[in-house]
Structure 1
Amino acid sequence: MMKEFKQFALKGNIMELAIGVIIGGAFGKIVASLVNDLLMPLLGLLLGGLDVSALHFKFGGAELKYGAFLQTVIDFVIVAFSIFMFIKGLSLLKRKEEEKPAAPPAPSKEEQLLAEIRDLLKEQRQDPGNRS
């Protein structure tokens, strides 16, 4: 069972997935900092000093923190847009790479020999008096 687990855990897809999760977590922290430390204060200034995350509504004994929900929605939209732009950029690079025409392979020895025979036959047709 340990051998099977090792084979499963060390497959390329699993390793790539693990790396993606780690990078995604770090990316999430960067975007959260972007939103919390840069964008939301600017949005607060535009809204007259309003802190969106502090918005709440009291309903009986309960406090509905819709501002925190709005903050999370804004975070999600920014993360989703960032990932979209990143994937779009990668797709563009990949498409450009695929569009590059591949250099034709060098002719094989058989193809070279056939080309020489073809050229000799052309010469003989053009100069019928010269028979070697």
Structure 2
Amino acid sequence: MNSFLKEFKEFAMRGNVMDMAVGVIIGAAFGKIVSSLVDDIIMPLLGVITGGIDFSGLSFNVEDATVKYGMFLQNILDFIIIAFCIFLMIKGMNTLAKRWKEEPKPEESAKPNNEEVLLTEIRDLLKEK
């Protein structure tokens, strides 16, 4: 039992697990931001553009069961919009990260002056002897 706990502790304290935990927490917070963007900004604008179409109320009955296919369509639409928003945000963040990481191009080495050329020739002559 003691070795099991030791192995679990090693697993839980690995860098990958900690990174994943941070990612999940940040992802949850980011999800709230994206959901708010979709629910509070994009969907009302889409409602104006589409004339206020709301799929969530569409349904039909089969005997005693109610099939709410409209809610399914609405969830698919929400998913597509959220996925597109996340794609745009990640694309923007990657572009910014790439710009920050760009290293300045090395300047071309200047032509050696006359003194450097002369010293190089002297060095080469001394190497030959």
TM-score by length of 2: 0.63
1:73/1:122 Cα in 2 relative to 1: closer, same or farther (>3 Å)?
Answer: same
Alignment coverage as a number of residue pairs: 111
- Which consecutive residues of structure 2, in runs of 5 or more, have no partner in the other structure? 108-114, 123-129
Q: What are the residue-to-residue correspondences of 1:11-30 with 2, within 5 Å?
A: 11-30=14-33
Asked if 1:94 corresponds to 2:94, the answer is no
Measured in 1, the distance between the counterparts of 2:119 and 2:69 equals: 85
Shift of 1:66: 1.4
3-state DSSP of counterpart to 1:63 = strand
Per the alignment, residue 57 of structure 2 pairs with 54
Change (3 A) 1:2 1:103: farther
What pairs with 1:55-74 in structure 2 (closer than 5 Å)? 55-74=58-77
Structure 1 partner of 2:119: 122
Q: Does the residue aligned with 2:104 lie in a helix, a strand or coil?
A: coil
What is the CA-CA distance between 1:102 and the residue it aligns to?
7.3
| Unpaired runs of at least 5, structure 1 | 105-117, 126-132
CA distance 1:36–1:71, change in 2 (3 Å): farther
Deviations 1:46-74, CA, capped at 9 Å, x for gaps: 44444322222223322111121122112
Instruction: Give the structure 1 partner of residue 9 of structure 2.
Output: 6
Shift of 1:18: 1.2
Evaluate the alpha carbon distance shift between residue 94 and residue 31 of structure 1 in structure 2; reply closer, same or farther with a 3 A threshold: closer
Residue deviations 1:10-67 (CA, integer Å, cap 9, x gap)? 2222111112112222332333334344444444444444432222222332211112
Q: Percent identity?
A: 51
Tell me if structure 1 keeps the 8 A contact 2:34–2:86.
no
Paired residues of 2:56 and 2:73 also in contact (CA < 8 A): yes
**Alpha-carbon distance in 2 for matches of 1:14, 1:123:** 57
Residues 3 and 19 of structure 1, relative CA distance in 2, 3 Å threshold: same
What TM-score, normalized to structure 1?
Answer: 0.61
